[in-house]
């Protein structure tokens, strides 16, 4: 069953690699990207699951600063006119310090909303039922681009008592759908770009050439001009015709289909036993055998009873049984003319994923695997 599933996965991967894909799925527009923003805030309204202020002093300082900004003095209190002021000790467990993160989409304008992620900083056990207080979100330039506030949605939970605790998911992190209000627009737009540049997500010389030919072939029939030229194996520069807008132009170019080229690569994940073999992987003719040696050690202690009236003692005598078994193996000849024949040759040996991983690594060491091996 394992061999059949492995063959199906590899064959599906090969078939999908041969299919044509849209240009917008394998390339991005340079300059149109998301920007990361981050902020520090407080989540209030927790049911005793917030930070312990003694263990998280930054939460106490933030709470004091927030209350002072609202005109409430909690740092000092005076007992009498003759005694000096003394600090007030806060004992609440309904507040948690959090980091708020979000990705600012390109071309988003002021007044639009987006989702934010809220993550606990202190020793809070859960953010369930909490509400984020207005938090400014800044980018790398230090400017405020959005303000977040709202009820936190938490998928996980954690409940328990003194002897047992049950948890599912991560209750100390959550999201606020449409919780951030954009206050500033990111500089730059399509209309300000003199040239439009396509950046390949997986840079490759063959893929870049195919995209270039597909765009020029389409532009030659529609615009009677060659509008694309390559800068390197990663980027393709487009010269937009004057009588068409950039949005419509990129929409037409993005719908063109090409067949991307994939490198000869074998990806191995030893923890999960996953093996992914690329379509162009080739193996020179090589003979392979693989066998497993199983050693079983069994402890069978025996109780030794003394003879009657011998004044002896009852003792436990250790007894160990060792069995060694080496399963029979076959010698198979692998010659990777194509992916189907390579998979068929590996299945002939009757291996589990761990065995296939060991064989592929050994073939690579022998110099017969004509591909890059990536071990995760």
Write down the pLDDT at residue 188. Answer: 65
pLDDT digits (tens, 9 = 90+) for 289-348: 666 545 565 667 777 777 777 777 777 777 766 565 556 555 555 555 555 666 666 666
Contacts of 99 (CB under 8 A, 6+ apart): 38, 39, 40, 118, 119, 121
The pTM of this model reads: 0.66
Instruction: List, in sequence order, every residue forming a beta bridge with 138; answer none if it has no partner.
Output: 38, 144
Write down the pLDDT at residue 112. Answer: 92
Q: Is 223 left (phi over 0), alpha (psi -120 to 50) or beta?
A: alpha
Mean pLDDT, rounded, of the chain? 80
Query: Which carries the bigger pLDDT value, residue 234 or residue 318?
Result: 234
190-258 placed in CATH 2.60.120: no
Among candidate residues 256, 252, 242, the one with its CA nearest the CA of residue 210: 256
The answer to whether the CB of 132 falls within 8 A of the CB of 174 is no
Q: What is the mean pLDDT of residues 276-300?
A: 70
Write down the pLDDT at residue 329. Answer: 56
What Rg, from alpha-carbon coordinates, does the chain have?
A: 33
pLDDT digits (tens, 9 = 90+) for 197-228: 899 998 889 999 999 999 999 998 888 888 89
CA 148, CA 8: separation in Å to the nearest integer?
A: 47
pLDDT digits (tens, 9 = 90+) for 7-42: 444 444 444 445 789 999 999 888 788 889 999 999
CA 360, CA 266: separation in Å to the nearest integer?
A: 9
Q: Does residue 162 register a pLDDT over 70?
A: no
Can you tell me which residue has the tokens 């770009």? 193
All CATH 3.30.70 domain ranges of the chain, comma separated, are 190-258
| Cβ density class 281-291: b for 16+ within 10 Å, e for less | bebeebebebe
Q: What are phi and psi of 91, to 5 degrees?
A: -125, 15
Q: Does residue 128 register a pLDDT over 60?
A: yes
- Other CB atoms within a 10 A radius of the CB of residue 308 amount to 6
CA 93, CA 47: separation in Å to the nearest integer?
A: 8
Q: What is the mean pLDDT of residues 33-54?
A: 90
The answer to whether the CB of 113 falls within 8 A of the CB of 181 is yes
If pLDDT is split at 50, 70 and 90, which confidence band does 2 have? very low
Residues making up the chain, counted from first to last: 376
């Amino acid at each position: 069953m394992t061999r059949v599933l492995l063959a199906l996965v590899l064959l599906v991967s090969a078939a999908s690699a041969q299919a044509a894909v849209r240009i917008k799925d394998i390339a991005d527009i340079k300059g149109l990207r998301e920007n990361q923003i981050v902020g520090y805030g407080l989540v209030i309204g927790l049911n005793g699951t917030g930070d312990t202020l003694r263990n998280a002093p930054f939460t106490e300082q933030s709470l004091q600063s927030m209350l002072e900004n609202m005109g409430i003095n909690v740092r000092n209190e005076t007992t009498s006119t003759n005694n000096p002021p003394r600090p007030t000790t806060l004992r609440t467990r309904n507040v948690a310090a959090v980091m708020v993160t979000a990705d600012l989409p390109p071309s988003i304008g002021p007044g639009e909303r987006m989702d934010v992620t809220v993550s606990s900083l202190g020793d809070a056990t859960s953010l369930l039922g909490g509400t984020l207080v207005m938090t400014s979100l800044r980018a790398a330039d230090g400017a405020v681009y959005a303000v977040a506030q709202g009820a936190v949605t938490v998928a996980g939970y954690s409940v328990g008592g003194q002897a047992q605790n049950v948890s599912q998911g991560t209750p100390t992190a959550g999201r606020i759908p449409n919780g951030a209000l954009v206050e500033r627009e990111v500089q730059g737009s399509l209309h300000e770009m003199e040239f439009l540049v396509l950046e390949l997500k997986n840079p490759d010389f063959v893929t870049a050439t195919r995209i270039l030919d597909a765009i020029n072939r389409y532009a030659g029939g529609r615009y009677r001009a060659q509008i694309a030229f390559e800068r390197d194996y990663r980027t393709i520069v487009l010269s937009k015709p004057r009588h068409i807008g950039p949005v419509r132009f990129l929409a037409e170019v993005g719908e063109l289909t090409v067949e991307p080229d994939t490198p000869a690569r074998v990806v191995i994940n030893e923890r999960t036993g996953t093996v992914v073999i690329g379509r162009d992987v080739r193996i020179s003719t090589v003979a392979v055998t693989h066998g497993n040696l199983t050693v079983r050690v069994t402890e069978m202690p025996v109780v030794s009873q003394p003879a009657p009236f011998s004044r002896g003692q009852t003792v436990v005598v250790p007894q160990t049984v060792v069995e060694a078994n080496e399963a029979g193996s076959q010698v198979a000849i692998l010659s990777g003319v194509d992916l189907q024949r390579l998979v068929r040759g590996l299945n002939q040996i009757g291996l589990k994923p761990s065995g296939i991983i060991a064989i592929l690594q050994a073939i690579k060491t022998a110099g017969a695997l004509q591909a890059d091996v990536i071990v995760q």
